[in-house]
Amino acid sequence: MKIGFVSLDHLRDWHGTTRLIDRIAAEMASRGHRVVIIARAGAASKKVPVSRLEYPHELITLDLNNDRGRRAAREKIAASGMDVCAASVGNNQIMYMPGLLRGSGIPFVFGDPHDPRVRTFASWQPYESYGALASADAVQTLLGRYIPFYPEVLRRRVTPIGVPAPPPGDVDFAARRQRETRVLIGVGRFNEMMKRFSLLLRAFALLRADFPDWRLKLVGDGPHWDYYHIMAEQLGIKHLVDFTGAVADPGAHYESADLFCLSSLIEGFGLVLAEAASYALPLVGFRVCVPADELIKPDMGALAAEENTPGALADALRPLMSLSPEEREKIGVNAREAFGRMYGGGIVYDQWEGLLTETFENAKNGGTTLERILNRKMKADEKFDIIGPEWDGLGPDSPIWTEGVLERSAAAIAFRADPMKAPDRPEGAEHENNDEIIRLRCELARLRQDYNRLDKKYASLLAQLHSPAGKRGKRIK
């Protein structure tokens, strides 16, 4: 088969999703498939270890910034000769897919990189998010526990496939045992709303007096880089925290660590869990985080209690930090072996190849989902830009998510000039399920208040940092 992998950030940013797609694409190529990478054009991040000149697969670059570029992108994809297309794109980028694949006849698999619950309270309306998912022939989700978090009419298309376990990292266990300084490590994008490194910094501050030989290493960068530096200074631990910046391959940092912590409360899978386990590191996370709760077994590390606080995280870290290096090594090896059993040995690649092949074969027998949707809507002469009432914050269990509603949304997005700009909704429009709307909107309002409060605090701390007092190095209160 000729398989296309849509990874819009592939030439721009080297994060967990792009690293994962790269590995899957390389494996499919090694199995004899022809591979196409489809990415947005633009300046490559310095973190990306590939370029257009030396990239091993066929590369299609897209300009999605204007209608002319999007038309050209559709033409490139239609002319690509792909037998099947898989996309793993974050946030609202899924909205591009119905329009890009419209008229191509190429079957489409959407690889969901998130905990699907984020769509309920995302900045974009669930109407568009779920509609874009409805345009896919198949949806890959990272854990079976996520299937109930999709609207019921989509669940029959959802297949759980996890993340392939990396091969065991090159670890010198003897050197690790003999090091005088111990390292607790966190890896990820510096985005507080997702990764919650503030919880890890505060937990480490609670532990430092009892563990003077430990240091904290944070690998990554992002919009809250300054915020975390200021927090480390205010907590009095800045001299104990190593901020490495972003790296293309965090392997050397895992190898130099003794214990890994995932401080996120919401994750898709936590590729970093598999990476850390490959270097035989014990794992710690929050029980409320689905992949942490699903993947970290008692003999592999520890889970913080339901209370999502720095104190709860410190309580989970403390017993593991108190162990001898040999005892932690045994737990880390358990983690590595467990991930190998669940996701190693080609298991995940076999599942991906099977899903792509099945989607291709099914499409030959009945056309792609998007094409069937558009054909039905065209025959019914429906207007694609009438999208109905307000859907803000409406969860996947709502009975209004019928097949007809989602098909109408998919058709509307496919013919929208700018997929990221939805038409205005009628003012005051409501639907029957008022109790659910009230409950979910209250939750949405609370989450937005939390975000606004954090954003204001971040801005205030930055202002203090750049004030004359801050520049003189005085402690910011």
User: How far from 306 is each of 287, 313, 345, CA to CA, in Å?
Assistant: 6, 10, 34
User: Is 60 exceeded by the pLDDT of residue 442?
Assistant: no
CA–CA gap between residue 437 and residue 447 (Å, rounded): 15
Mean pLDDT of 186-201: 91
Residue 423: inside a domain, yes or no?
no
Residue 442: inside a domain, yes or no?
yes
User: Is 50 exceeded by the pLDDT of residue 427?
Assistant: no
> In terms of domains, do 181 and 152 share one?
no
Residue 142: inside a domain, yes or no?
yes
Model pLDDT, residue 262: 96
Model pLDDT, residue 76: 95
Q: Which residue has the higher pLDDT, 410 or 214?
A: 214
User: Is 60 exceeded by the pLDDT of residue 21?
Assistant: yes
> In terms of domains, do 182 and 239 share one?
yes
Q: Out of 55-69, 196-210, 220-234, 381-395, give the one with best mean pLDDT.
A: 196-210
SS (H, E, C) the chain: CEEEEECCCCCCCCCHHHHHHHHHHHHHHHCCCEEEEEEECCCCCCCCCCCCCCCCCEEEEECCCCHHHHHHHHHHHHCCCCCEEEECCCHHHHHHHHHHHCCCCCCEEEECCCCHHHHCCCCCCHHHHHHHHHCCCEEEECCHHHHHHCCHHHHCCEEECCCCCCCCCCCCHHHHHHCCCEEEEEECCCCHHHHCHHHHHHHHHHHCCCCCCEEEEEEECCCCHHHHHHHHHHCCCHHHEEEEECCCCCHHHHHCCCEEECCCCCCCCCHHHHHHHHCCCCEEEECCCHHHHHHCCCCCEEEECCCCCHHHHHHHHHHHHHCCHHHHHHHHHHHHHHHHHHHCCCHHHHHHHHHHHHHHHHHHHHCCHHHHHHHHHHHCCCCCCCCCCCCCCCCCCCCCCCHHHHHHHHHHHHCCCCCCCCCCCCCCCCCCCHHHHHHHHHHHHHHHHHHHHHHHHHHHHHHHHCCHHHHCCCCCC
Model pLDDT, residue 440: 58
> In terms of domains, do 299 and 374 share one?
no
pLDDT above 90 covers a percentage of the chain that reads: 53
Model pLDDT, residue 400: 83
CA–CA gap between residue 343 and residue 271 (Å, rounded): 12
Domain boundary among 343, 365, 400: 343
> In terms of domains, do 253 and 121 share one?
no
User: Is 70 exceeded by the pLDDT of residue 51?
Assistant: no
Q: Which residue has the higher pLDDT, 389 or 5?
A: 5
Domain boundary among 295, 316, 343: 343
Mean pLDDT of 409-413: 88
Q: Which residue has the higher pLDDT, 302 or 401?
A: 302
Across 14-28, 179-193, 229-243, 288-302, least confident range:
14-28
Residue 427: inside a domain, yes or no?
no
Residue 476: inside a domain, yes or no?
no
> In terms of domains, do 337 and 360 share one?
no
> In terms of domains, do 326 and 402 share one?
no
| Domain that includes residue 384, residue range | 2-164+346-414
User: Is 90 exceeded by the pLDDT of residue 206?
Assistant: yes
Model pLDDT, residue 305: 86
Model pLDDT, residue 233: 94
User: Is 70 exceeded by the pLDDT of residue 284?
Assistant: yes
> In terms of domains, do 316 and 388 share one?
no
CA–CA gap between residue 182 and residue 46 (Å, rounded): 30
> In terms of domains, do 97 and 217 share one?
no
Residue 428: inside a domain, yes or no?
no
* pLDDT, mean over the chain: 84
65-99 pLDDT per residue, tens: 899 999 999 999 999 999 999 998 877 888 899 99
Angle (CA) 263-264-269 rounded to 5° is 120
Model pLDDT, residue 448: 59
| CATH number of residue 233's parent domain | 3.40.50.2000
Model pLDDT, residue 42: 72
> In terms of domains, do 110 and 42 share one?
yes
Model pLDDT, residue 48: 46
* Domains held by the chain: number: 3
> In terms of domains, do 205 and 241 share one?
yes
Mean pLDDT of 422-449: 51
Model pLDDT, residue 431: 41
Domain boundary among 321, 343, 365: 343
Residue 388: inside a domain, yes or no?
yes
Q: How confident is the model at residue 422 (pLDDT cuts 50, 70, 90)?
A: low
**Would you state the structure tokens that stand for residue 260, as one six-digit string?**
């890994």
> In terms of domains, do 378 and 438 share one?
no
Q: How confident is the model at residue 365 (pLDDT cuts 50, 70, 90)?
A: confident
292-346 pLDDT per residue, tens: 999 999 999 999 987 789 999 999 999 999 999 999 999 999 999 999 999 998 9
> In terms of domains, do 145 and 242 share one?
no
Q: Which residue has the higher pLDDT, 375 or 43?
A: 375
Residue 421: inside a domain, yes or no?
no
